[in-house]
Structure 1
Amino acid sequence: MSSREDETLAQAAVAALTWQLELAPKPGLPDPRDLGARTTRQDHCSLRWSAKALTPGLAAMAAAARRTGHPTPELRAELGAIGRSTEHSVALAGGGHRGALWALGLLVAGAALNPRARGNDVAASAKRIAAHADRRAPRRPSRGSSVSAKYGAAGARGEARAGFPHVRRALDALAAARTAGAPEPYARLDALLTVMSTLQDTELLYTAGPLGLRHVQAGARGVLEAGGTFTEAGRDALYAFDDDLHARAWSPRGSGVLLAGALFVDSLPVVVASSVRAA
């Protein structure tokens, strides 16, 4: 891959994150409706702005994977160092997206490591990188790792080491909804709810505990069982679920991150084709 293609992969990942932010209504998550709400406008605007600050770091991760050529411990350490530097840049741009940087960084590196990979193969490539420990990472436990240890949840690290099973589930949900004739926004919302229905979200476990997590999973399943977001009954269930999570101030952020990962992987055939034409 060339440096142009590394940049293209990074831009595709940021575009996928932006697509996730633009979806509405997303139960418990920031969406464009927040632009009209004075109390949340800064949060949503800063998320959209700071997403762009991920681009240089993600391009550097792609370049590191392309240069290394193998999922080695050294590559994992380099990706970690790039990630920590990028976190600092994103903080200056408004903050947020730490979880997205972790997931998208591994998926971008996986795509750069295996340029012909598509779909599940990209997740498998990222899995081989995540299998190595980051020997240079700070030793202090993160909130996510502490919650994972307390409740036995896989967490972000476990999701990556398992080959991003919820990214793969979201890809399947996207394909099924499209085949059923759902317009793209509804297909993406159904994919989000599919992830939300089974993900052991450590953010939710921290704020709402196991009972809260199961409540959110059941709510997501309820929308899908009502027919999905493209049906009238499904949309009614979606709005009720969204109102419920906002009233409780519960935010299933991990599901949004993994949907962004799925949208990035889903876009790769188009991304690669456009890179070839530009070369």
Structure 2
Amino acid sequence: MELTPKAKKTMVTAALIGPAAIWLFVFMVLPFFAILVFSVGERAPAGGYQPAFTFDQFANLGARAAAFVNTLTLAPIGAIACLLIAYPLAYYLAVKVDPRRRLLLVSLVVVPFWTSMLVRTYSWMYLLGARGIPHVLELIGIENVRLINTPGAVLLGIVYGYLPLMILPIFVSLEKLDRRLLEASADLGAKPISTFFNITLPLSLPGVMTGVALVTILLLGEYLIPQLLGGGKVFFIGNALVDLFLQSRNWPLGSAIAVTLVIVVVAVLLISMRIAWRFAGTRQIDLV
């Protein structure tokens, strides 16, 4: 029996999205469902998970309040710091640089990703440690400067590690900007600052929100940077999860924290998409 065109189209669509759908279901949906089940259970006497149905773990989230406070404070601050540095650089690359040199300069932005994040973070441990910048400051008479194992060190590591992820979506958004709009604004007598706030910034907002959402979401689950540059004194939620699952073996509480983190991540994503839609219409579909 010959298939109808509609049936053929359905089969082709299923063949194209089927493998990805199965992959996402097995490696994302099922693990999250398991975590959700663990979150309403109890800690077994020897550690791990014991079947139960209780919301006591969610009521006990305050036991890891410091991790939540550090994450929900430093992650947005880090994202904003990345934005303040990334936007001028992305604007320069997209608008001011000769197109013949643009590809080379954009490639330099991506170069840090060619090196392991672990190696790059270890280099900052040396620079911020006793033999690094504090030693140089001591030679010029500035003593007792402590940089490592502080929130500032973690923030510096965040900006250094995630800055390229903020630059690239903003650059893509600015590169798509219709230059005729800028020329028309200038012809009508608008000053450059007025053109920027009324044309450039609103039209590049999808890239801005994409970068902010991307960096913030990744920072909410960050583990390596606070572990190495915070020295165990600046805990993020990721550090709390490692402690609860691998050391304390309190799987239900760790699962409750993980579920809460997922809810926060979804909220950040929805808010960023809402803002992009509010100010730039459907243009954010190209980037989000």
Name the TM-score, length of structure 2 as normaliser.
0.25
**TM-score, normalization by structure 1:** 0.25
